[in-house]
Structure 1
Amino acid sequence: MVKKLLAIIAIVVAGYVGYDTYKMYRGGYFDMPELGPNDFFLSFKSGLRGVMRDIPDERPARRYIAYGANNVPTWFQETWSECRLPAEDERAAFEQNVDVGPGGRLEAICEIDAEGDIFVRGWFSSVPAL
């Protein structure tokens, strides 16, 4: 009886570790770039992954939403992008095209540098976490 119980516990633990490892692989955490002291990362199921460089981390108070660009080649869809604060004209253009709702705001523009060719991978906005 004890052997069966230990076997079941071992199977459950192995299943949990395997599933957690799979989630980390799907999130891209094994090939993520180095983080600086003021950096944090966001990874979404859609494949949009970004390192937020010198942007305040407001995750306890705000919920982040990802908007992926439509014209991204498939080989770049799961690549880590570098995210930066938007300029005022970029913020205004985003708010004209996307309604993030009350309290929502554009937080970052995420770009990929493909050997000198920089293109927008997506945008991160946030809304209050109520």
Structure 2
Amino acid sequence: MRYWFWKLIALGLIGSFAYTAFDLQRGGYFSLPDLAQNEYGVSFRNGFRAIVVEDNPSNQSAANQSDIFRRLTAAHPERRYRGITMQVPSWLESQWSRCERAPDGADPNREALEQTMNESMRREYQLARLDYYCFVLSDNDRILRGVIYSVPRS
């Protein structure tokens, strides 16, 4: 009986390690470039991968994690992040983009972005906070890869 118990425990541990490795691979964290101390990675299910600079994380212990585990969602656990991707060439879709904080107040870029959204998406993001504009570099040209919105976690 003990033999089967320890076999099940070992199988469970191996399965959890395999799932963690699969999840990190799917999120692109094995191809994550080196991060500075105040940079955090975030990967969305739609394939959008971004590196953001965050000088004031609400959870200071998140800054001490290794690069693979230093995530924006851990730095701000009180917020939920949503990434919207832009149309880019297929070879840029799996690249990590660098993000800049969106300006506070009236932002003409936000207004132009919201004009390109369909009505249901505009309604969904109406009260969300636009946090970051994310860009990729291609032949020294900055291409808008996506934007990151956040809402309070309830």
Taking structure 2 as the reference length, the TM-score comes to 0.74
Matched, 1:75 2:94: no
Structure 2 letter corresponding to 1:22: F
Match of 2:83 in 1: 66
2:142 is equivalent to residue 125 of structure 1: no
Aligned-pair identity (%): 31
1:78 maps to amino acid: S
Query: Which structure's residues are more often helix, by fraction?
Result: 2
**Structure 1 residues 95, 125: closer, same or farther in 2, change over 3 A?**
same
Unaligned runs of 5+ in 2: 59-75
Q: Is residue 106 of structure 1 aligned with residue 130 of structure 2?
A: yes
Q: Residues 95 and 61 of structure 1: is their aligned pair in 2 closer, same or farther, counting only changes over 3 Å?
A: farther
Tell me if structure 2 keeps the 8 A contact 1:65–1:126.
yes
- Count of residues in Structure 1 that have an aligned counterpart in Structure 2: 128
Q: Note if 1:28 corresponds to 2:12.
A: no
| Deviation per residue, 1:21-51 (Å, 9 max, x gap) | 0000111111112222222121111110100
Question: Measured at CA, do residues 124 and 46 of structure 1 come closer, stay the same or move farther in structure 2, by a change above 3 Å?
Answer: same
Which residue does the alignment assign to 1:92?
Answer: 111
Shift of 1:54: 4.2
What TM-score comes out, normalization by structure 1 length? 0.86
Unaligned runs of 5+ in 1: none
Other-structure match for 2:61: none
> 2: CA distance between counterparts of 1:105 and 1:95?
12
